[in-house]
Structure formats: structure tokens, C-alpha cells
């Protein structure tokens, strides 16, 4: 009889489970053939010897494909240093170091500091991610010197004998050496959803995964020669791209570049040719007009916000395999949960054994013990049966039918001690029993208590008979109690509070799942649906999904279809799971979340892995995503308002043939106090509002009117000051008045962005205003920044113009907010975000 292998709780769930198994057959399709039990372990291949392994390593025949969870340190430095805007600012900085005082070169030092901060934070995030990736790595089992041991994927060599079980991913190409009902899903490579039955001598490809049965294969291609090696490397790499937030920022920067180039050229010509002024002063003021057009800190703050989010989540044992997943989960409005392994813990307990139709209890116990011993990779339910009925007697298993989530049952044929032969099935009662059977009423009562019930039945035919389940005779009910996760109730309550609909998709009985959901307080837990009665048409399915909350008897293919139906109705869907029957749905969902104890296949396709198996970590991921998106939307408005007013001021200066009013030191001061420092704090503040689409549109809706008003108010003050002042120090006085107006309007933009107010937000705005006041009253700072208010008439006029500009700005943004609901997460929608 087959030796029982090491227990793997990542294997497929038993009949009725929603946590494991795989997409095997369509309803009504012919059953997979049964398979003889393999010979005892001692007769199997012992694998390579240590000497053979060393020889292959020396020849370079090793699986040396690098699997990285983050960008390399070189890529991080290159990505932060060699940017388009850093190049522009670098050139301007060198020019200013040559022609102007050091005060006018401060913007260059700020960029150096910002770039350094970005590199340091991303390197910290890389260290966190790489450490978590090692913790979360699943090691394949390889036979060497006659024993099985776990090794790193990179240590596999050509010719290694690698064991496979339910949920295992095929890590290199190979040839099947042993097969015990081995069924492999190659859909991630070929797109074909139906699994392939693998026999000895068949080929297996890297990137596929086991959905049922066990076996072993010999590695024939390793490293970069393997079929999916490059694909796997690319898929597992930590990335900073392909997110709406970053794509939107890139689009904004592209448009900024297009505006900046002609405006800068016109400004250069006007300052150097049209105006008959000192060359160095003209250069300084030209650079002062170009530098603020560049929203140089926006990309930096986005990267820092994401990196800090990764670090925070890493401390909670959450591995973010793709950075945009943080952003994506924040946009989710429907989360599909697999009950087993997500809402319930892996372990179960047998609470009762009810014999049926006069069956002998002792005999039934022996059958259950034999079924337990026949499976080399028992899952949680079968392990509970093994723990309760450990003795299978001297029965010998001659044939086995692996469990699959599509069939909802498994089976085995035994040669009993007295020479008799019998065939048994263990699975979902409502699948093995005909409709109307009185036993189903008894089972319904148990399901309503949230208990899992398996039916043991004796088959009258052979396992390879397509109607074997229909001809079976019920022998006993095995009642199992599931262990609820202590944190599941609070997590479901969090999603309900955040207006995120939770849908439970389980392979278990719908009533049983509904009872579990009720215990956890899931809204709508009483609305249970048997997935076997779901309409196949996508729109009709989506309607049922919108109305229901608990779905039972869901097949793996249905999970995938249900995710697609929700997405087709405009939902952003997250899928959680830990078994191979969840893989296709995880892959298709907008965000896939796997438990750390889940199968290797699920962790390979998921964007987020909860290494500590804590469902309670999900709210933290959602919160980080919302913090990043909401806050970057806020600070982007600050940066782009500056870009808009800088471009408009340059255009007005060119049109009026005037000297540009500001030196670089003035705008460095303004940018630091009204954008740079406040944006850093605002970008890292709490933010719980659900993320909304159309990032660019929402930001520009506020930045454009804000920039226009700031530019108009500033230039008005500049024109009035030009007529008011005369003499050698006139330009400095005009600049000081214009700077005062621009600062006051900008600080009002900051005050609006900082809403809703908390003590620290009020303090932030107040400190920035106080810092500018210090510059105006301290003599050496006045000289350093070339700011000195002359007289009383023009300074107060500048204040009055700024007040009018702030009032117009307030009205304009309130009007925009009325046009766009506050729930869209717009930066100026006061009260839309609670912190």
C-alpha cells in the first residue's frame, strides 16, 4: 500500500471545500480515468547522487534563472538620477553656479537632496521586499541519494527528480517519471482551462501547476532554456510601472514638457534680446522663469510614498510582488473571498460520524482509515479524518480517483483483508445523492449550523464508470467543524464600513457557507446562492452577483467567470484564495491576494501574499493604497498649480516685454514653503477615502484655475509695482511685492489642499506662513533672498490683491467641487477625506 507522504496543507480541499482543488472538467463531462496506486516509495527513483549533482553544477547545468522581487540597486540609482527633468535642472544649475550668487543655485541642492531621499527610500523598500521574498519562497521537493529534500529553485540541476503534489508549480521543464492521477493545468501558458492528465513519459512545462494527483518528473531543461523561464522572471519582478497613478503623472509630465519648451525659448529670447539689461542678470531671471515650470518633486514624492507603503506593509508580513497592487487594492469595490483558508483556518475537527442505512460503524471507521492512508498528500479535511481514524487495517488500495473541485468527490478501490474488493467515494452529499433523498434534509440542518458534511458511499460499479456516483449507496455522514479565523469578522466589518462589497465564492454547500458567514457578521449572509443554478450569460450572472453575497458549489471555472462578470459591470475586483482552484480567478482579478500557506501556484500569480496568513492584514493594504492615491492627488495639485502659474507668468512677461519678476532664489523659497515641505507631510498622512479613476482629469480640474488665478494676481501686483516704484532699486521692490502676492495665494492653495483640518494640518500651514514672515523681518534673510518690502502702500496693495485672488480661488474650487461629487476624492472637496 502507498506510503503516506509528508502532509501538505496546501493541497486541494476535500469535496465541498472552496479553498483548494483545480479547474478539471466541465459539468456533465466524462469523468477522468482512475489510476492505479504507484508502487511503494522504496521502488521509486532515488534521484541523482551528490556526486552527480556536483558534476552538473560544475558544467553549469543548473537552474540559475534569477528570481527577483525588486529592482537592482543599480536600476534604482539610475532610475532616480537619470531623468529628463533632472537633466534639464542639472544644466540650469551649472549655468547658475557660473553667472549668479549661490542663493540662486539653491534649487540644485534641493534636487540633489530629493534624489538622495528617493534612492534611500527605494533601497529600503528593496531590502524589505527581498527579505520577504526569501521568507515566502516555496521550495520544490527533490529526490537525491534516495531521500526527498526541499531545495531552492535555483539549486535544481539537469536530471533532478522533482516530486509534485496538488498546488505545486512546475518550476522547470521535464518528463513525467511517476504519475498517480497527475493532472496539470497549463492554462497560464496555453490559455486552455481544462487540465491535462499526465502519464509516464509525458512532457511538463515550467509555469504550469498540479491540480490533482501526485507524481514526479525528471528535469530536462533548466535555467533560461526552460519554457517559461523568462516569463516567470518578468512576472515575479517588483515593478514601479503600469499603474494609473504613475501613468497619469507620466502623461502630465509629457504635456508639461510640450508647454515648457516653446515657453522657455520665448522667455530666453525676450530676456536676452528684447530687454537691454545686464547679461548675467538676464540669465538668472530666465532660469528663474524656467525652473518652476518643472514639477520635479512630484515623481519623487510618488516613489517615496509607494516605497514607504511597501516598508510599512513589510513590517506586517505582507509581500507586495507588484507595487501597483497597493494602488489597485485601494480602488477595489468588490472583494471575492474563498471561505476555506481565508475566513476559516486550515485545520478541522471531526465532530460526529453518522452511519446510514444500517451500516456497521466499526466497518465504516476502517473504510475511512483506509481512505486516509490511500492519499499521499492529505488536505485539511482528510487530515482531520486521519487524525480521528488512523487505522486502515490491512486493506490495500488498488485504484484511486483523485479529488477535484469540479467533481466534488474522490474515490478508491480496496482489496480488503478477507480478499473482498470494494469501491468507496467520499465527497459532497448533494453531489453524490439524488435530489429529494431524505438524507439531504438531515444534512441541511447540519449545514445551517455552519458544519461541513462529507458523505461516504459505496459504489456498485467500477471507478472508471462515468455513472459511478449515481449508483453509489450512502454509508455514513462525516461531520466536520471548521475553525473560524479570529480576525475575519473585524476584517469583513472593515470592508462593509468602506463600502466594499464582500462576496464569498466557495465550493462548499451554500447553506453551510452562509451559516459561517452569518457567524462572522457578513452583510447579506442570508442571501445564499447555489452556483450550479447560476445563469451562464455574463450580464445575467453579474445581476445575480450584485444581489447575492454567498455562493456555494462554485467550480474553479465559475470563479473565473464570476470575476469576469463583475469586471464587465464596471467593478474593480480583488480575489483572495490559497488553493489551486483559485488560480485562474486570481490571475483574472484586478488584484490577486494569496495566503502565505497557500499553494505555490496561487502565490505565483498573486500580486499580494499575506505571509502570516492573516486576513486582517488586508485592511492595512487597502489603507496604504488609499493613502498613496489620495495624498498624491492632493500634492499633485500643488505641484501642477505651480507649473501652470509659472508658464502663464512667462507668457505674460513675453507678451508685455517686461523683465521676469523673480530670481531662482525667490521661487525656491516659495516652492519650499508652499509645496516641497508641506507636500512631504501631506503625502505620508493617513487617507481612507476609496480611490477613484481619472487621476489626470481630477488634478487638472483644480490646478488649471488655481494656476491662472495665482498668475493673474501676481502679474497684476507686478504691473502696479512697476508703475509705483522708480529708481535704482525699483526692480527689487517690484519683485518683493510680486513675491508677497504669489506667496499669499499659494499658501491659500495649500490651506485648501490641507482640508479637512486637523491640528497638525493647521500647524503645518501656520509654520510655513510664519517661516515666510521670518524671512521678511530678519535683515540677513532679507539680503540673502533679496526680499525687502518698500513703503506701505504697495505691500498692502499686494496683500489686498492676494486676498481677492484667494477669494476667487475659493469660489472657483467650490464651483468645481459642486460639479464633481466629493466622493470622487478630489483634492479640494473639503471634508471628503477623513484623517
CB 248 within 8 A of CB 211: no
User: Hey, CA dihedral for 31, 33, 34, 39, is it positive or negative?
Assistant: negative
Residue 778 per-residue DSSP state: S
Q: Are the beta carbons of 480 and 443 closer than 8 angstroms? A: no
Distances (CA, A) of 59 to 52, 53, 153, 175, 251: 11, 10, 18, 21, 49
In angstroms, how far is the first alpha carbon of the chain from the final one?
A: 63
As given in the structure block, the three cell numbers for residue 636 are 499633485
416 neighbors 397 (Cβ within 8 angstroms): no
Contact 460, 475 (CB under 8 A): no
Here the cell at position 750 is 495649500
Is 338 a known active-site residue?
yes
Cβ–Cβ < 8 Å for 734, 718: yes
DSSP element (H, E) containing 817: helix 793-819
Give the 3-state secondary structure of residue 687. Answer: coil
User: CA-CA distances (angstroms) from residue 62 to 55, 152, 223, 224, 300?
Assistant: 10, 11, 6, 10, 40
Per the structure block, which three cell numbers stand in for 635? 500634492
Q: Are the C-beta atoms of 580 and 602 separated by less than 8 Å?
A: yes
The set of cell numbers assigned to 680 is 512631504
**Rounded to whole angstroms, how far apart are CA atoms 12 and 98?**
70
Residue with cell 486493506: 395
Other beta carbons within 10 Å of 694: 14
| Cα(108)–Cα(111) distance, integer angstroms | 5
Half-sphere exposure (Cβ direction) of 227: Cα atoms closer than 13 Å: 17
CA distance 499 to 332: 10
> Could you identify the residue written with the cell 483523485?
402
The pairing of strands 147-150 and 203-204 is unpaired
Instruction: Yes or no: say if 775 and 699 are a contact pair by the CB < 8 Å rule.
Output: no
How far from the centroid of its chain's Cα atoms is residue 367's Cα? 45
Per DSSP, 340 falls in state: B
Rounded to whole angstroms, the Cα distance separating 679 from 750 reads 9
Do 21 and 579 touch, CB atoms closer than 8 A? yes
DSSP string spanning 348-361? EEEEEEEE-TT--H
Rounded Cα gap, residues 244 and 834, in angstroms:
23
Catalytic residue from among 160, 168, 338, 588: 338
Contact 213, 181 (CB under 8 A): yes
Identify the DSSP state of 414: E
Cell for 323?
Answer: 507595487
Helices (H) and strands (E) in the chain, counts: 28, 22
Residues paired with 478 in a beta bridge: 353, 454
How far is residue 282's CA from residue 418's CA, in Å, rounded to a whole number? 106
**Residues designated catalytic:** 338
Amino acid at each position: 500500500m502507498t506510503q503516506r507522504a509528508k502532509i501538505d496543507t496546501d493541497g486541494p480541499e476535500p469535496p465541498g471545500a472552496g479553498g483548494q482543488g483545480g479547474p478539471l472538467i466541465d459539468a456533465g463531462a466524462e469523468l477522468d480515468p482512475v489510476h492505479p496506486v504507484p508502487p511503494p516509495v522504496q521502488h521509486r527513483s532515488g534521484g541523482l547522487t551528490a556526486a552527480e549533482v556536483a558534476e552538473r553544477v560544475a558544467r553549469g547545468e543548473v537552474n540559475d534563472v534569477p528570481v527577483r522581487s525588486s529592482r537592482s540597486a543599480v536600476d534604482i540609482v539610475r532610475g532616480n538620477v537619470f531623468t529628463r527633468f533632472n537633466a534639464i535642472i542639472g544644466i540650469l544649475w551649472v549655468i547658475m553656479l557660473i553667472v549668479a550668487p549661490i542663493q540662486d543655485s539653491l534649487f540644485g541642492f534641493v534636487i540633489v537632496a530629493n534624489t538622495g531621499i528617493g534612492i534611500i527610500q527605494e533601497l529600503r523598500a528593496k531590502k524589505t521586499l527581498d527579505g520577504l521574498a526569501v521568507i515566502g519562497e516555496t521550495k520544490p521537493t527533490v529526490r537525491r541519494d534516495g531521500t526527498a529534500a526541499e531545495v531552492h529553485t535555483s539549486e535544481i540541476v539537469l536530471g533532478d527528480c522533482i516530486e509534485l503534489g496538488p498546488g505545486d508549480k512546475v518550476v522547470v521543464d521535464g518528463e513525467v517519471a511517476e504519475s498517480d492521477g497527475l493532472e496539470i493545468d497549463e492554462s497560464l501558458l496555453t490559455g486552455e482551462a481544462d487540465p491535462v492528465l499526465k502519464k509516464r513519459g509525458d512532457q511538463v512545462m515550467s509555469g504550469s501547476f498540479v491540480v490533482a494527483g501526485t507524481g514526479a518528473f525528471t528535469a530536462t531543461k533548466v535555467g533560461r532554456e526552460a519554457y517559461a523561464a523568462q516569463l516567470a522572471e518578468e512576472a515575479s519582478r517588483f515593478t514601479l510601472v503600469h499603474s494609473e497613478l504613475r501613468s497619469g503623472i507620466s502623461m502630465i509630465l509629457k504635456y508639461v514638457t510640450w508647454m515648457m519648451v516653446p515657453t522657455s525659448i520665448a522667455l530666453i529670447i525676450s530676456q536676452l534680446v528684447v530687454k537691454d539689461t545686464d547679461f548675467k542678470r538676464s540669465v538668472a531671471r530666465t532660469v528663474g522663469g524656467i525652473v518652476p515650470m518643472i514639477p520635479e518633486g512630484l515623481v519623487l514624492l510618488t516613489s517615496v510614498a509607494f516605497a514607504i507603503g511597501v516598508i510599512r506593509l513589510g513590517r506586517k508580513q505582507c509581500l507586495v510582488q507588484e507595487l501597483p497592487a497597493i494602488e489597485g487594492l485601494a480602488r477595489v469595490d468588490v472583494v471575492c473571498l474563498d471561505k476555506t483558508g481565508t475566513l476559516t483556518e486550515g485545520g478541522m475537527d471531526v465532530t460526529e460520524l453518522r452511519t446510514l442505512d444500517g451500516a456497521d460503524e466499526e466497518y465504516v471507521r476502517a473504510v475511512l482509515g483506509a481512505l486516509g492512508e490511500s492519499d499521499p498528500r492529505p488536505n485539511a479535511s482528510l487530515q482531520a479524518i486521519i487524525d480521528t481514524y488512523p487505522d486502515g487495517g490491512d486493506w490495500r488500495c488498488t485504484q484511486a480517483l483523485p479529488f477535484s473541485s469540479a467533481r466534488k468527490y474522490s474515490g478508491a478501490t480496496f482489496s480488503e483483508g478477507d480478499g473482498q474488493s470494494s469501491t468507496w467515494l467520499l465527497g459532497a452529499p448533494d453531489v453524490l445523492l439524488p435530489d429529494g433523498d431524505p438524507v439531504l434534509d438531515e444534512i441541511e440542518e447540519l449545514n445551517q449550523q455552519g458544519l461541513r458534511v462529507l458523505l461516504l458511499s459505496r459504489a456498485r460499479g467500477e471507478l472508471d464508470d462515468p455513472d459511478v456516483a449515481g449508483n453509489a449507496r450512502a454509508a455514513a455522514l462525516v461531520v466536520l467543524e471548521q475553525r473560524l479565523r479570529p480576525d475575519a469578522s473585524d476584517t469583513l466589518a472593515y470592508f462593509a464600513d468602506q463600502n466594499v462589497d464582500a462576496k464569498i465564492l466557495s465550493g462548499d454547500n451554500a447553506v453551510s457557507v452562509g451559516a459561517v458567514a452569518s457567524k462572522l457578521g457578513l452583510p447579506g449572509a442570508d442571501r445564499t446562492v447555489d452556483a450550479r443554478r447560476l445563469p451562464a450569460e455574463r450580464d445575467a450572472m453579474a445581476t445575480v452577483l450584485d444581489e447575492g453575497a454567498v455562493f456555494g458549489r462554485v467550480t474553479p471555472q465559475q470563479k473565473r467567470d464570476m470575476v469576469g462578470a463583475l469586471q464587465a459591470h464596471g467593478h474593480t475586483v480583488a480575489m483572495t484564495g490559497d488553493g489551486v482552484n483559485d488560480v485562474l480567478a486570481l490571475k483574472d482579478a484586478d488584484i490577486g491576494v494569496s495566503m502565505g500557506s497557500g499553494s505555490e501556484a496561487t502565490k505565483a500569480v498573486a500580486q499580494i501574499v499575506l505571509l502570516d496568513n492573516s486576513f486582517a492584514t488586508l485592511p492595512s493594504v487597502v489603507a496604504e493604497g488609499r493613502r498613496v492615491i489620495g495624498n498624491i492627488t492632493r500634492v499633485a495639485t500643488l505641484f501642477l498649480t505651480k507649473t501652470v502659474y509659472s508658464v502663464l507668468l512667462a507668457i505674460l512677461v513675453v507678451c508685455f516685454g517686461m523683465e521676469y519678476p523673480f530670481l531662482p532664489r525667490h521661487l525656491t523659497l516659495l516652492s519650499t514653503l508652499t509645496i516641497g515641505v508641506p507636500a512631504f507631510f501631506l503625502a505620508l498622512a493617513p487617507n481612507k477615502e476609496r480611490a477613484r479613476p481619472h487621476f489626470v482629469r481630477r488634478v487638472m480640474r483644480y490646478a488649471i484655475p488655481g494656476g491662472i488665478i495665482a498668475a493673474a494676481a501676481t502679474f497684476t501686483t507686478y504691473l502696479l509695482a512697476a508703475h509705483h516704484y522708480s529708481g535704482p532699486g525699483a526692480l527689487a521692490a517690484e519683485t518683493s511685492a510680486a513675491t508677497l502676492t504669489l506667496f499669499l495665494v499659494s499658501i491659500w492653495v495649500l490651506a485648501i489642499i490641507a482640508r479637512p483640518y486637523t491640528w497638525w494640518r493647521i500647524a503645518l500651514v501656520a509654520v510655513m506662513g510664519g517661516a515666510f514672515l521670518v524671512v521678511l523681518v530678519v535683515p540677513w534673510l532679507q539680503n540673502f533672498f533679496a526680499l525687502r518690502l518698500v513703503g506701505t502702500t504697495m505691500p498692502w496693495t499686494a496683500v489686498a490683491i492676494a486676498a481677492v485672488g484667494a477669494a476667487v480661488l475659493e469660489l472657483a474650487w467650490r464651483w468645481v467641487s459642486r460639479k464633481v461629487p466629493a466622493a470622487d476624492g478630489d483634492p479640494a472637496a473639503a471634508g471628503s477625506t477623513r484623517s
